[in-house]
Chains A and B, each alone.
Chain A
Amino acid sequence: MMLRLNALLALLLLLAGALALIIGPNGISPHLIADWLRGSDPAAAIIIADIRLPRVLAAAAVGGALGICGAALQALTRNPLAEPGILGVSAAATLGATATLYFGLAALSPWILPLGAIAAAAIVTALLAAVAVRTQGMASLILTGVGLSSLAGALMALILNFAPNPFSLSDLVNWTLGSVANRSLSDLAISAPLMLLGALLLLSQRANLSLLSIGEAAASTHGLDGNRTRLFVIAGTGIATGASVALAGAVGFVGIVAPHLVRPWTGHDPGRALLPSAWLGALLLVLADVFVRLLPTDNELRLGVVAALAGAPIFMAIVLRRGRTKHV
């Protein structure tokens, strides 16, 4: 059952990826791939290998990372509304990334910006995990996330306020919109392995996260090492979210929508939802990126904007439905 679901989602991702490679401003052009593979057309090589392929891979990697992070945070906090964006992890990572730009540290090494994003994301995830342990209520966790998100937003505003010139201001703002346009394979070479590492850390906790569905106290009497699980999920979420923000800026709601959609097919088991959430998150973001490329706008619509426009209503729908059946 799970194997078939994962295989189906992986296949759909592959098809979406192929579609994304052949769709461009001039419509669908499958011959480009053939030309690129044969090496007969240098222009095709540039379009596919330098422009579209990194973009598709970046969308898939970021979507996958955010999908699995959302699923893991929801399992850890036992809250279907938990997600890196809602809980302020993405905002903190964006702050970490822009801070390295603002202070000129990012120019020292290509690793500085991702590390800044990851460190900030890990700090906020650790704070959230501490809150989740102390207060069992759903509301306090979400409110803490809102508070942390606001704080990160305020610090971002501070940085923007003191931006030395309009160019660096627009550079900084771009980070907050979220996009996978103009990414190179060398950008991916830094971020993708970190996202993979984060995802593997999270996947290693799959069985533990399933067990956590009965509450931490009961889970610990059945053999859960709660501290170890928390540490792995914090580290995994921090690394994967930080790396995804370092690559694409802030892209929200994928982490809520993907786990929400796969849950009925995974028996509502939070551990079993991890991998399918990654596949579906990747699929959603690749398709969303195809969508923004097809829109005939003067300025390209940013991926993060589309994700938020589509994701926020779904988030509201989940809240309202839970409100009817349970006391959130």
Chain B
Amino acid sequence: MSDPLILDRLTVRATGATLLDAVSATVAPGQLTAVVGPNGAGKSTLLRAIANILPSTGGVRIGDADLKALKPIERARRLAYLPQAHELAWDISVADMVALGRFAFGAVPGRLSAADEAAIAQAMADTGCADLADRAVTSLSGGEQALACLARVLAADTPVLLADEPAAALDPANQYRVMECLAALARNGRTVVVVLHDLSLVAQFADSVLWLGDGRLIAQGPASRAEFERHVPALFARAPGFATDGSNALYFRRDCDS
């Protein structure tokens, strides 16, 4: 089991607005933690601040290690991050792109160690993109690109994994595959933090939830029916036609099954 991810008054400000307001939380390893909230709540900002892509104040630690004080390469060995949008500039093959995930472990394109090869093959098998290995990344569909980029992040094989909407571009079968894969990583002791909009996926796969609204952490708790009934209506009530009476089957699938 790896160390917990600890956020200490993490704050992001940009051009006068506070995008993330003193978020403090301890995210336990061995769990899939979903970040849930309406558009503009600061979910992606939270992940980007943890991944140190956005300048922030406050602390981010994994156990005793202060992530912000680490060199980029040291940080990359502890934490991997899948962004929401994928910027793929050249016609490199999927296999070469996934291999970039091993950069922090000294992998050089064209010269990979046996450990690198094994991690890459595993990641591509887990995400179902082994068949795409020789395709140019720019020739892939949006969903295939999302799977290939997830494979790259998984190939890094880090104790902490952040993923921003990993299932958004995927068909239902691939959504299930990806969420199952992330849940399996969590069961194996990783710290997995996933931004999700699809509440049915949250209900089905998440162990705990960080509820975010207006850049603040509203609550942190288990992904239980009681927590859903408490937070979903409050956070999403502004959406027209949203069912607030607890009858919305979307986020109660787990209970419907039982």
Question: Is the pairing of A and B real?
Answer: yes
State the A residues within 8 Å of B (CB).
Answer: 1-2, 78-79, 136, 206-207, 210-211, 213-215, 217-226, 263, 267-272, 326
Are A222 and B110 in contact, with the CB atoms below 8 A? Answer: no
A269 to B152, CA, bound (A): 16
Are B136 and A272 in contact, with the CB atoms below 8 A? Answer: no
Closest Cβ neighbor of B108 among chain A residues: A207
B78-92 residues at the A interface, CB under 8 angstroms: 79-81, 83, 86-92
Chain B interface SS verdict (over half):
mixed
User: In the complex, which residues of chain A have a beta carbon less than 8 angstroms from the beta carbon of B92?
Assistant: 213, 267-269
Partner pick for B90 among A206, A220, A224, A269, CB 8 A cutoff: A269
Are A218 and B83 in contact, with the CB atoms below 8 A? Answer: yes
B100 interfacial by beta-carbon distance below 8 Å: yes
Are A224 and B103 in contact, with the CB atoms below 8 A? Answer: yes
Are B97 and A214 in contact, with the CB atoms below 8 A? Answer: yes
Given A217-B83, A222-B104, residue A268 in contact with residue B72 (CB < 8 A): no
Partner pick for B93 among A210, A214, A267, A326, CB 8 A cutoff: A267
B96 interfacial by beta-carbon distance below 8 Å: yes
Partner pick for A214 among B48, B79, B88, B136, CB 8 A cutoff: B88
User: In the complex, which residues of chain A have a beta carbon less than 8 angstroms from the beta carbon of B75?
Assistant: 221, 223
User: In the complex, which residues of chain A have a beta carbon less than 8 angstroms from the beta carbon of B51?
Assistant: 221
User: In the complex, which residues of chain B have a beta carbon less than 8 angstroms from the beta carbon of A136?
Assistant: 87
A221 to B167, CA, bound (A): 20
Closest Cβ neighbor of B76 among chain A residues: A223
**Given contact pairs A214-B86, A263-B91, A271-B109, a sample of 6 additional A-B residue pairs in the complex whose CB atoms are under 8 Å apart:** A210-B109, A213-B92, A214-B149, A221-B83, A268-B90, A269-B110
User: In the complex, which residues of chain A have a beta carbon less than 8 angstroms from the beta carbon of B100?
Assistant: 210-211, 213-214, 219, 222
Interface residues on B, range: 35 or more
- Nearest CB of B to A76, in Å: 11
Are A269 and B103 in contact, with the CB atoms below 8 A? Answer: no
A223 to B108, CA, bound (A): 13
Are A220 and B96 in contact, with the CB atoms below 8 A? Answer: no
Are A217 and B108 in contact, with the CB atoms below 8 A? Answer: no
Interchain residue pairs with CB less than 8 A apart (13):
A78-B89, A207-B103, A214-B152, A217-B48, A221-B75, A221-B79, A223-B104, A225-B71, A268-B136, A269-B90, A269-B92, A269-B96, A270-B90
- Nearest CB of B to A122, in Å: 24
Are A223 and B77 in contact, with the CB atoms below 8 A? Answer: yes
Given A223-B73, A223-B75, residue A207 in contact with residue B81 (CB < 8 A): no
Are A221 and B53 in contact, with the CB atoms below 8 A? Answer: yes
A206 to B107, CA, bound (A): 12
User: In the complex, which residues of chain B have a beta carbon less than 8 angstroms from the beta carbon of A268?
Assistant: 90-93, 136
Q: Mark B47-84, 1 if CB is under 8 A from A, else 0.
A: 01001110000000000000000011101110111010
A272 to B101, CA, bound (A): 17
B156 interfacial by beta-carbon distance below 8 Å: yes
User: In the complex, which residues of chain A have a beta carbon less than 8 angstroms from the beta carbon of B79?
Assistant: 221
User: In the complex, which residues of chain A have a beta carbon less than 8 angstroms from the beta carbon of B104?
Assistant: 222-223
Q: Mark B24-62, 1 if CB is under 8 A from A, else 0.
A: 000000000000000000000000100111000000000
- Nearest CB of B to A132, in Å: 12
- Nearest CB of B to A312, in Å: 23
A307 to B229, CA, bound (A): 70
- Nearest CB of A to B18, in Å: 21
Interface hub of B71, B76, B91, B110 (most chain A Cβ within 10 A):
B110
- Nearest CB of A to B73, in Å: 4
Are B103 and A215 in contact, with the CB atoms below 8 A? Answer: no
Lowest 10 CB-CB distances: which A-B pairs, in order?
Answer: A215-B87, A223-B76, A78-B89, A223-B104, A223-B73, A268-B91, A221-B81, A210-B109, A268-B90, A222-B103
